[in-house]
Amino acid sequence: MAAKDRQANRTRDHLAALFFLVVLLSLWFVSRISWTSGPLWMAEAQDGEGAPAETQVDRSSGNRPDHNHPAFEERIEERQAMVLHQIRARDIKDPNVLRAMRTVPRHAFVSADRQREAYHDYPLPIGKGQTISQPYIVAFMTDALQLDPNAIVLEIGTGSGYQAAVCAEIARQVYTIEIVEALAESATKMLKELGYPNVAVKFGDGYDGWPEKGPFDAIIGTAAAVRVPPALVAQLRAGGRMILPVEDASGFQYLILIRKEADGTLSRRRVMPVRFVPMTGKVRESAGATDR
The residues near 144 (Cβ < 8 Å, ≥ 6 apart) are 241, 243, 255, 257, 271
Q: How many CB atoms lie within 10 A of CB 64?
A: 18
Looking at residue 87, its amino acid is: I
Q: Are 114 and 22 in contact (CB under 8 A)?
A: no
Distances from the Cα of 191 to the Cαs of 35, 55, 99, 128, 225, in angstroms? Answer: 37, 23, 18, 19, 25
- 131 forms beta bridges with 125
CA distance 29 to 41: 21
The residues near 246 (Cβ < 8 Å, ≥ 6 apart) are 224, 225, 226, 227, 228, 253, 254, 255, 256, 292
Task: List active site positions.
Answer: 133
Q: Which helix (H) or strand (E) holds 137?
A: helix 135-145
Q: Which helix (H) or strand (E) holds 202?
A: strand 199-203
CA 286 to chain centre: 31
Region for residue 209 given its phi and psi (left: phi exceeds 0; alpha: psi -120 to 50; beta: otherwise): left
Looking at residue 142, its amino acid is: T
Q: Are 240 and 262 in contact (CB under 8 A)?
A: no
